[in-house]
Structure 1
Amino acid sequence: MNNKNVCLFSLALLTAVFFSCKNIGSVAPPQTYGAIPSKPQLEWQKMEYYMFVHFGPNTFTDMEWGNGKEDPKIFNPSALDCRQWAATAKAAGMKGIIITAKHHDGFCLWPSKYSTHTVKESPWKNGKGDVLKELSAACKEYGLKFGVYLSPWDRNHPAYGTPEYNQIFANTLSEVLSNYGDVFEVWFDGANGEGPNGKRQEYDWDLFRSTVYKHQPNAVIFSDVGPGCRWIGNEAGFAGETNWSRLNVKGFAPGHSPALDTLNSGNRYGAAWVPGETDVSVRPGWFYSKTTDEKVKSLDDLLGIYFASVGRNSNLLLNVPADRRGLIHKNDSLRLMEVKQALDQSFDKNLAADKKAASKTVRGNSEKYAVANLLDGDYDSYWATDDDVLTAAVEIDLGSRVDVNTVVLQEYIPLGQRVARFNIEVWNANKNLWEQVTEASTIGYKRIIRFKTRRTNKLRLNILESLACPVLNNVGVYHLPEAYLPKEAKQQVVSEKGDLPVDQWKVLSPSTANISEIIDGKAAAIALAFKAPIVIDLGEESNFKGFFYVPEAKVAAANIARYNFMVSSDGKNWKALKSNAMFDNIRNNPIRQNQFFEDPVKGRYIKLEPLELAHSSDKYLIAEIGLLK
């Protein structure tokens, strides 16, 4: 080769290398698709799992919704220790605590200048205490984030129902948000149970939101419709199997939200980024009650909730109520430790870490978007395809045959949520073919897929539908203990019994064929014509202090929400014990409702008269009714 040819060859080689390197460095990243999270929303999403603490006068009255008439003197925890709460949350693997600073009863857990229904009026610490101050300090000590729940609905404040109340509530927000350090989430409850004849307050949500951002610009605001994060549409602990972080919010407001199934699944083409938050209690109710000490959710229940929330693109806000001492009960904390141990055991070893991944579709053939990024543990490195490639496959070589039953997937949501359908296959070496083990829809920030254990050396992720080029930043492969895999649903007969024997009871009306089922001790609901009262003959004069009603355990069920309850000695002359009364929070949390009277009563006949249903219907549902001593 002469010198001229050598020079030409060298020039060509340098040019090729130059353009090759330029190609790698100049391949533009994917443009964002649709609504995307703000920086605070992204940091919030990364928290995944944190604690809710319901605490206040209801703790001492066995109520879910206080009426605001409680004497502040009942609030007197004997050993309140917010450091114990924080230590428990930290040990459980939680990242923060949200406290019910002001529930619907209006009682403030701090000495507010804008209310006379506060800790200042209680005997706790001689009126000098401040729960928010103690909890925020404890969170800081234990490296947890601090959040606050404040209910706009106030059943105590005399200004509620007037135009002046909005500014009072805004002042209350300012007080809380400017005195206790950084607040990661402000939780607005949309509940208002005043009923058709109660006080009506037109909330100034623009004022409330601007007040939050004035003092806490990085706070995520929770409500039915955000704007920071949204209610997932139930209090049972599950997000939709399809769960978009986008939502159409135009025309809606807190307390006036889209349909429950929309909240559960989001909107595929929603205009706003409003990710879901799954809130659920470790006990049947939200506030502590000694009657539920033995009803703490099982490990299986809580793991199921974790996989149906965090594992479905939602954060999990798990309520762990403080008891009357002001401490987290040992039954609750022990169960939380079991959950932590199970999760650690499940995700201790990522079988795909440092293994090889391959894909025929890499954006611009650039190493910057290489499929290896899925396995490097770096949140901000990702695999992406070219803009016009909406379906793709990723193959992961595990190196040797191992047992697998769980795959964790993450989209790089700073660029938007894209994947609408995918499946996972495992390689069957004996048959020399791929076998599908699962198919699902959305991924979002995190999707955890569990399936029957398979032994394989390779997995394949197939993106079957994506709204824009897929962008994923993590794939994890795990082998969970068999005990933590989904179990076949078994029909359980739930026992719901009262304190009085029902052997002599007889349901006099309505005269439906299966009416006796409402006193058989089994929580299977039947439907009765709306407004048809239930009248029961107890068989003899009996003494009792209250009654219970068991609704249909479904959020959208037509359960009794408002009612009258009466007693009689002869079945003709009735005495009202509860008039236009309300079953607290039954719309969102349809569990057994225990209702007590002001004084013990005696009678032979009882009558429950439905006045209003949780959801409109010409029939109402009842599973069981009984009496309490």
Structure 2
Amino acid sequence: MAGLCSSLATAHAQEIAPYGSLPSQAQLNWQDMEYYMFIHLGPNTFTDKEWGHGDEDPRVFNPTQLDARQWARTAKAAGMKAIIITAKHHDGFCLWPSKFSTHTVRESAWKDGKGDVLKELSAACKEYGLKFGVYLSPWDRNHPAYGTPEYNQVFANTLNEVLSSYGPVFEQWFDGANGEGPNGKKPTYDWPLFHQTVYKNQPNAVIFSDVGPGCRWVGNEDGFAGTTNWSTLNITGFAPGKNAPPQSVLNEGNMNGEKWIPTECDVSIRPGWFYSASTDDKVKSVQNLLDIYYGSVGRNGNLLLNVPVDRRGLIFSADSIRLMEFRQIREAIFKTNLAPKAKVTATNTRKGNKKVNARYLIDGNSKTYWATGDDQLTGAITLEYASPVSFNRLVLQEYIALGQRVKSFSVDIWEDGAYKEIATGTTIGHKRILLLPDVTTTKVRISIQDALACPVISEVQLYKAPGLLAVPAIQRNKDGEVSITCSSPDPELHYTLDGKEPTYHSPKYTGTIHLPEGGVVKARAFLEKGKIASTTVTATFDVAPAKWKVTFTDGQADGADPVRAIDGNPNSYWMTNYQPDAAKYPHEIQVDMTDTLTLKGFTYTPRHQTIHSGTIYTYAFYVSLDGENWGQPVAQGSFANIANNPVIQYVKFNSPAKGRFIRLVALAPANENEHWASVAELGVITR
């Protein structure tokens, strides 16, 4: 593997042999970016869908105030380093006037068909010093050639068109989804052809997919990498999409993996990927974003945060405000590095190499480092202070140009005349951020306990993060009783039921709020008589299932009583028998609401896990007055992307339906070979 060593590694460390699979210079540059923006935009923005079917009228796309410079300004102000845009999603709609499609901005109402989103965004990125990336899905639910042998060349031509027309592209994002096209067929993607086309046009682009080759999917859409996260991955026998490695492997990588394919953590600032007005009050909180940051950048990954553009063609104000608040708290946390104030020493330091020194651990330069000798797989780094220091965050970095090495480490502080262990960890990689309790000490020791080769550490940093007032949590039980809680100590909780923003003078939460018929609850936490306030959290409720009864199911797994599907608790669930031979699809559950209601839609909450979940993909929903005569379904279809993003699904009917009984029929699973179905919560929409 030594021959793969980058020129950067060779120049800095002649005496230290590189270990294992190594990053290219492009991958090193990519890892240093850490945090950048994803933008989902297309017909789905205007149809309220996550996965369009490709049959939508292209004229529906008409963002009359589209301003790519506003997107770039927002990303820059948020501290992001780049923007990746969905140039072509599964519906096949192209955000540029492609010569290889008739489903593009050229056929849209936007700018009378004379617009080009990619042209405007690439120029805006250049103006604001951001890198530019593109997402192009091989799946095309519109193109007539999809599913035929010639489609691979059509897609390669499409790639070539984009990658040769808009300047440097730092990342090419490939979705592995491979569904049916307009002719009902699926192709076999020619990944070598696609990769060749990318590198011909953009030799320095990092290619994303489940198996790289530039960077890999983290295995979930929550934004969290594994607490153990290797940048190396075994790829022989695997391919993007259904033939990818297990999600647990994508989440953690493979120690001594065949190729250097680091983790990218994609997550949306909203529940869905495309803009929907119904999620304007569901933008993730600062605390939630901070947790994701620690779970991605802080676990040897990069964070790709989706900020969907609204129907005007602008980033919505709530999203923009939250991004600025998120940057503000990050800057407050990492403002003052306490490590340079210490005297730093280390054991087992490599001898005879002037480029290796313990003082480089606290110089703020990730390109300098300390290392042990070749025969030393352990070592201890000590920071000693003349007077006590207080901290609660520890940042560690390896010099990854020479490979990822550390397998385990521990952290101790000096207390009462002896060292006391306060944390342990496994991998480090590009960056590891540890969340520690508030501690005060004069000595901190980081012990490398095991490594694949001599440890090469570039940075040790200590910070004191300020406290952050937690966002309240709003819950409602089966009987319609709403409770508001907060994990921060002793806050005052204030709320509103009229849709207005809560202030310190709004009603104070002192006990249960009775809301059986539904409504909108907004809440905030306050400290110091209103001087410190959390962000607002909003919960929208419909009719509570207080009197509901399950009248029929086709069986359930042990311990998964069907009443759990209507108990108001999304953490419990009903699930049918999961023995594949005993429970084939379809499955169903029927409910008596006891009252006759006029329904405008229904909600389905899946189990929040992506493996062995029983999540429903294709469904049919019925409404009946007597529970015997069901007629035709009032809604049927698929929950798009639910396997990777198991959030509550809202389905609106084409026209209202009156009834007392409801029936959900699961027709196909979200995960192949899961011949069972599950429901965390089943609800109705009457408002």
TM-score for both structures, normalised by structure 2? 0.83
CA shift, 1:313, in A, is 0.1
Report the equivalent of 2:285.
Answer: 298
Structure 2 residue 276 is the aligned partner of structure 1 residue 289: yes
1:370, CA displacement in angstroms?
0.9
Provide the residue aligned with 1:609 in structure 2.
665
The alignment's C-alpha RMSD in Å is 2.4
Q: What is the CA deviation profile of residues 171-208 of structure 1, one whole-angstrom value per residue up to 9, with x for unaligned ones? A: 1111111111111101101123449x942110000000
* C-alpha displacement of 1:596: 2.9
Once residues 168 and 684 of structure 2 are traced to their aligned partners in structure 1, the CA distance between those partners, rounded to angstroms, is 47
Q: Select the residue among 422, 426, 430 that pairs with 1:437.
A: 422
Distance 1:341 1:46 in 2: 20
Equivalent position of 2:490 in the other structure: none
User: Secondary structure of the residue that 2:387 maps to in structure 1?
Assistant: strand
Per the TM alignment, residue 482 of structure 1 is displaced from its structure 2 partner at its CA by 3.2
Q: How many residue pairs end up in the alignment? A: 599
Structure 2 match to 1:93:
79
Give, in angstroms, the shift of residue 603 of structure 1: 4.2
Cα distance in structure 2, aligned partners of 1:574 and 1:219: 54
* Residue 435 of structure 1, CA deviation: 1.2
CA deviation profile, 1:109-138 (whole Å, cap 9, x unmatched): 111111111111111111111111111111
The change in CA–CA distance for 1:565 and 1:573 in structure 2 (over 3 A counts) is closer
- The CA distance in 2 between the partners of 1:111 and 1:455, in whole Å, is 60
SS in 2 for 1:363: coil
Q: Is the 8 A contact 1:120 1:129 kept in 2?
A: yes
Identical residues among aligned pairs (%): 55
Cα distance in structure 1, aligned partners of 2:185 and 2:639: 18
Distance in 1 between residues matched to 2:367 and 2:180, nearest whole Å = 48
* Bigger CA radius of gyration: 1
1:450 to 435, 459, 467: 435
| Aligned twin of 2:265 | 278
Deviates more, 1:612-621 or 1:112-121: 612-621
**Superposition deviation, residue 490 in structure 1:** 9.5
Matched, 1:403 2:458: no
Which residue does the alignment assign to 2:203?
217
Larger RCO (CA within 8 A; separation ≥ 6): 1
**Counterpart check, 1:522 vs 2:569:** yes
Report if the CA contact (8 A) 2:366-2:397 is conserved.
Answer: no
Post-superposition Cα deviations, 1:528-556, rounded to whole Å, max 9, x if no partner, equal 34533112344465443432211011122
Shift of 1:155: 0.8
Shift in Å at residue 609 of structure 1?
Answer: 1.2
SS at match of 1:437: strand
Q: Give the stretch that moved more between structures: 320-329 or 602-611.
A: 602-611
What is the deviation of 1:164? 1.0
- Corresponding residue of 2:464: 479
Q: How does 1:543-582 map to 2 (within 5 A)?
A: 543-556=598-611, 557-570=613-626, 571-579=628-636, 581-582=637-638
1:315-351 CA distance string (max 9 Å, x none): 0000111111111111111111111011101111111
| Other-structure match for 1:593 | 649
Amino acid at match of 1:532: H
Matched, 1:204 2:260: no
Residues 327 and 497 of structure 1, relative CA distance in 2, 3 Å threshold: closer
1:223-256 per-position Cα deviation (integer Å, ceiling 9, x unaligned) = 0110000000111110000000000000000102
Which residue does 2:105 correspond to in 1? 119
CA distance in 1, matches of 2:44, 2:323: 23
How far residue 400 of structure 1 moved from its aligned partner, in angstroms, is 2.2
Matches within 5 A, 1:162-561: 162-194=148-180, 198-255=184-241, 256-353=243-340, 355-428=342-415, 431-483=416-468, 499=542, 502=545, 505-510=548-553, 514-523=561-570, 524-529=572-577, 530=583, 531-539=586-594, 542-556=597-611, 557-561=613-617
**Alignment partners' CA distance in 1, 2:199 and 2:331:** 36
Unaligned runs of 5+ in 1: 1-24
Distance 1:447 1:274 in 2: 17
Inter-partner Cα distance in structure 1 for 2:13 and 2:392: 36
Shift of 1:452: 0.6
Which string of whole-angstrom CA distances, capped at 9 and with x for unpartnered residues, describes residues 146-170 of structure 1? Answer: 1011111111111111111111111
Instruction: Specify the alignment match of 1:4 in structure 2.
Output: none
CA contact (8 A) 2:587 2:667 kept: no
Give the gaps of 5 or more residues in structure 2. 1-10, 483-538, 578-582
Q: CA deviation at 1:399?
A: 3.4
After TM superposition, the score normalised by the length of structure 1 is 0.91
- The change in CA–CA distance for 1:457 and 1:498 in structure 2 (over 3 A counts) is closer
1:625 aligns with 2:682: yes
Cα 1:573–1:473 change in 2 (3 A) is closer
Task: Give secondary structure in 2 for the equivalent of 1:368.
Answer: coil
1:600 deviates by 3.9
Query: How big is each residue's C-alpha offset from its partner over 1:23-67, in whole Å with a ceiling of 9 and x where there is no partner?
Result: xx9994211100010011110000000001111111111111111
- Distance, in Å, in 1 between the alignment partners of 2:179 and 2:324 is 36
